[in-house]
Amino acid sequence: MSHMSELNTKTIVAGIDVHKYSHTAVAIDCFGQKLADHEFSNDYLSEFVAWLDSLGARENLLVALEDVNGYGVHIVKRLANENILMRYVPGILTERRRKQSIHREKSDPADAMRVTKVILTNYEETLPAKESIADPGERSAAANLDFFLAERRSLVAGQTILKNQLHALLHQYWGDHYADNFAKAFNPKSMAYYQKNLKPKNMADPEQPALAMSIKRRLERLKLLVSQIREIDAAMRTAAKDCQPVQALRQNLKGCGQITACALLAEVTTIKRFRTKAQFARYAGIAPIHKSSGSHKRLYTSPYGNRKVNRALHTIALYQISRADGLGRLYYEKKLAEGKTKLWALRCLKCQLANRVFQTLKHEYESRIKPV
């Protein structure tokens, strides 16, 4: 595949505003002049590819998308199979452009045009779409892990809600000491006890039967969620064994467990998307924002970037800080000794971890493709 490293005078950018049933594409030249537009659906992707080919040579063509994982997944797969270069545009950039524009109308062609204009004005803040630049093996491994993680996050959220509800209901049924005889309030032993002993204590109380049945139904749902989370963890464990980047992350970063390593790879997919460690840190929302005016210069925490990657690095950082004899703890204490706050010292450690993740994945990729 021929990859475009920089924009040039021959570049043609086609931006797509993605929806569930129909999509709108607008093409512009390197000077921002509109060349053509096209409305299509997932049933007519062949016509869309033909329209792209009518714009010019493919080596000069760049397709920009906001949505590459949801409703845009069919477009992305087809363009990847056609070896057409794609670039991901963060939604915040197009929304910011709309708010700063004199004309703030909201329409599909206008939104598609904003996506294309972001490529021309904020090229360095966008990234190659992972489906466009990753190898087939990298794409499939990351996609599988992403499916597992997305479902797991949903199940864990539901599990937390059920546990909070059960705490309140069990307190109503048994009082303050319902979990005193168990190490955890919702382990298999405690849940079996609750289900066995949920019987109305006072038949004269009309609320007791309904309360007992409500608790039983929630316990059954909780058992199902726990079972499904374990099933997903086992599937991820099997997938991770055959995934070299995941194993490399686990071996080279203290505190990077299976779920954390899988979360990092699912979001990054391939380290080829990033040219430098600074670009990766910015993608993760770790690199600070510089703000200066005259002699007044300050650094601020970035609220942007990929929050899932940021959360994974945060988890690793907290683990390393909790280990008194680890290098992460020593670095954290060094920053505290320099006068930095605890929060800023933590951010410094996360920046070092981001660099380590980049170096680990880059080394693993280079060793994998190095000819024997």
Structure tokens at 319: 């683990």
pLDDT at 217 over 90: yes
| pLDDT tens sequence across 70-96 | 788 889 889 988 989 999 888 888 888
CB atoms closer than 10 angstroms to residue 167: 13
Closest CA to 279 of 123, 107, 109, 66: 123
The structural architecture, per CATH, of the domain 12-133 is: 2-Layer Sandwich (3.30)
> In the structure, what pLDDT confidence band is assigned to residue 135 with cuts at 50, 70 and 90?
confident
Give the integer Cα–Cα distance in Å for 115 and 137: 29
Q: Which residue has the higher pLDDT, 99 or 11?
A: 11
Instruction: Kindly list the distances between the CA atom of residue 229 and the CA atoms of 167, 263, 265, in Å, as whole numbers in the listed order.
Output: 21, 15, 20
pLDDT of residue 189: 94
DSSP code per residue over 133-197: HS-HHHHHHHHHHHHHHHHHHHHHHHHHHHHHHHHHHHHHHH-TTTTTTSSSTTSHHHHHHHHHH
pLDDT at 235 over 90: yes
Give the integer Cα–Cα distance in Å for 97 and 117: 9
pLDDT of residue 203: 59
pLDDT at 238 over 80: yes
Give the integer Cα–Cα distance in Å for 22 and 40: 6
Q: What percent of the chain has pLDDT over 70?
A: 95
Cα 133 to the chain's mean position, in Å? 18
Instruction: Determine contact, residues 218/167, Cβ cutoff 8 Å.
Output: no
Structure tokens at 367: 């060793």
Give the integer Cα–Cα distance in Å for 263 and 146: 7
Least confident of 35-49, 139-153, 187-201, 287-301: 287-301
Cα of first residue to Cα of last residue in the chain, in angstroms, is 23
Between strands 86-88 and 61-65, the pairing is parallel
| pLDDT tens sequence across 324-333 | 888 999 999 9
Residue 6, classed as helix, strand or coil, is: coil
Instruction: Determine contact, residues 224/155, Cβ cutoff 8 Å.
Output: no
Average pLDDT for 201-229: 87
Average pLDDT for 292-321: 86
| pLDDT tens sequence across 1-58 | 444 457 888 999 999 999 888 999 999 999 999 999 999 999 999 999 999 999 999 9
Structure tokens at 239: 């997938």
Q: Can you list the alpha helix ranges (DSSP code H) found in the chain? A: 45-55, 73-81, 91-100, 108-121, 130-133, 136-174, 188-197, 207-241, 244-252, 258-268, 277-283, 307-322, 327-337, 342-369
> In the structure, what pLDDT confidence band is assigned to residue 98 with cuts at 50, 70 and 90?
confident
As a whole number, the mean pLDDT across the chain is: 89
> In the structure, what pLDDT confidence band is assigned to residue 201 with cuts at 50, 70 and 90?
low
Instruction: Determine contact, residues 232/162, Cβ cutoff 8 Å.
Output: no
Least confident of 5-19, 245-259, 308-322: 5-19
Average pLDDT for 361-372: 83
pLDDT of residue 100: 76
> In the structure, what pLDDT confidence band is assigned to residue 166 with cuts at 50, 70 and 90?
very high
pLDDT of residue 204: 65
pLDDT of residue 44: 94
Give the integer Cα–Cα distance in Å for 153 and 255: 20
Structure tokens at 308: 């899932």
Segments making up each domain of the chain, as ranges? 12-133, 139-242, 262-369
pLDDT of residue 2: 43
> In the structure, what pLDDT confidence band is assigned to residue 99 with cuts at 50, 70 and 90?
confident
Structure tokens at 91: 């939604």
pLDDT of residue 259: 95
